[in-house]
Structure 1
Amino acid sequence: MKGKVIFIGAGPGDPELLTIRGYKAIEKADIIIYAGSLVNPEVFNHRKREAKVYNSAILDLNEIIAIIEEGIDANKIIARVHTGDPSIYGAIGEQIRELKIRNVEYEIIPGVSSVFATAAALESELTLPEISQTVIITRPEGRTPKPKKESLTSLASHNATMCIFLGIGMINEVVDDLKEEYSENTPVAVVKKASWEDQLIIRGTLKDIANKVKEENITKTAMIVVGDVLNPGNFKASKLYDPNFKHEYR
């Protein structure tokens, strides 16, 4: 038996949104390192009784790698459980870099991102014909700096659908940046803890969404979605199911 690290996207919160492959990986893991309160602990209720469980919210990178190294030396299977899909703001790149230095075997199991759980909660298609065919996934600049060309104002110039992570705590600044390019009447929705039992949805426009967020005292764990797809009116149907449109993939 050889030790291995398995990065697992645990999904947005609802344990039933954990993939089958992710479920099986957690089931066989000897060590579980999960990303704190962002991960619903129910996603690893089926773990082995003897599995060791660590909350990475109280660990730094060196401490995480030390736990992994100890497990690998003992030929253990390590489940590194991240919220949503680990490729988006999951900080797996720096962990993978350390594993490569140490020649540690690993694999990545994708998960359902909170972006898509949010869209489902809003009952919205993020790409509607002639309204928006582009989805921008981003975050405002905080402790982590952003390239200058990726400022919210710069990205907003496209007037595409925008899904903003990690911005609810600075909602005023986010709205001010967006209003540089979007109309203040542009629809906005905020979804707190998409797919969790205590999910909360707030709808408004750039003109009033900040006040609505403050009234609900939402300060974290929420996605901001901006764009006309949220209130499209009478939009045109796609060509995909047009009776006069022929292609080989439908």
Structure 2
Amino acid sequence: MKNNYKNHVPGVYIVGAGPGDPDLLTIKAQKLIRQADVILFADSLIPLEILDCCRYDAEILRTASETLETILPIMIDRVNRGQIVVRLHSGDPSLYSAIYEQMQLLAEANIPFEVIPGISAYQAAAAKLKVELTVPGLVQTIILTRISGRTQVPATEELASLAAHRASLCLYLSAKHVDIAQAKLMEHYPPHTPVAVCFRIGWEDEKIEVLPLKGMAEYSHQQKLLRTTLYIISPALANQTLTEQKEQQELRSRLYHPDHTRLFRDIQE
């Protein structure tokens, strides 16, 4: 499907709505929401404020209690009527958004569609925490994963095996199984490894708490966290004093180091 939504071409636009903050919508997402004839959104995961910029006459359909069997015919019908349909998904559609089966069925029905990326919760959380999750000399890999629940994780992606890398690990959809998750993580991460517990990032009632890995489950139970919770486990979250930072200059990125040669910069004599 071509990038031609400005011409009001009928089709389904699967749009990443970001973690919840309307200001984190991409410009493309905002334009599509403004122009959409029909907007379908998971109201349990996306705040109503995201729809503040939609047309007054747009058809707004909540889908939190619906199934794909009821949602898909609506999208197909509206596109066949010549309408622009926006299917809003929280975060970024490439992560845990269940768009694979939607795209397969839309393609089978010869319905044109386009996917619009959005900001993921882990990106918004890192920004709130004011951290870089890839610190030179400390950690250079980010793992996005979940623990098995009703949706099983392949055996090759079992949490303990991923934890062995000690990377910056972003754990989605796992609050209901936090005790198991903590135990598996502690097979490889030290108990004092910092964890950011991020609840409803981007919403008005968001909560962010950084604590040791050994306290992740207890805190989650105390706060009664069951849904919309992201855990970031990373050595990059460790607080460093100014003295420690000076002692660890080797962690500095080479990109802007004065001794680093680049195509557009020579080493100073």
TM-score per shorter chain, which class?
A: over 0.9
- Report matched runs for 1:1-250 at 5 Å: 3-231=10-238, 233=240, 234=245, 235=248, 236-248=251-263
Corresponding letter in the other structure for 1:109: I
Q: How far did 1:36 drift?
A: 2.0
Instruction: Give structure 1 regions of 4+ aligned residues with deviation exceeding 4 angstroms.
Output: none
User: 1:232–1:249: structure 2 CA closer, same or farther, 3 Å change rule?
Assistant: farther
Paired positions, count: 250
Corresponding letter in the other structure for 2:30: Y
TM-score (normalised: structure 2): 0.89
Flag structure 2 segments of 5+ consecutive residues without an equivalent: 1-7
SS in structure 2 opposite 1:43?
Answer: helix
User: 1:138–1:198: structure 2 CA closer, same or farther, 3 Å change rule?
Assistant: same
- Rg: which structure is higher? 2
**Alpha-carbon distance in structure 2 between the residues aligned to 1:2 and 1:160:** 43
**Alpha-carbon distance in structure 1 between the residues aligned to 2:74 and 2:148:** 31
Q: How far did 1:6 drift?
A: 0.6
CA contact (8 A) 1:8 1:109 kept: yes
**Alpha-carbon distance in structure 1 between the residues aligned to 2:232 and 2:172:** 9
Corresponding letter in the other structure for 1:40: P
| Identity fraction in percent | 37
TM-score (normalised: structure 1): 0.96
User: 1:210–1:130: structure 2 CA closer, same or farther, 3 Å change rule?
Assistant: same
**Alpha-carbon distance in structure 2 between the residues aligned to 1:217 and 1:93:** 31
SS in structure 1 opposite 2:101?
Answer: helix
**Alpha-carbon distance in structure 1 between the residues aligned to 2:97 and 2:227:** 16
SS in structure 2 opposite 1:144?
Answer: coil
CA contact (8 A) 1:202 1:212 kept: no
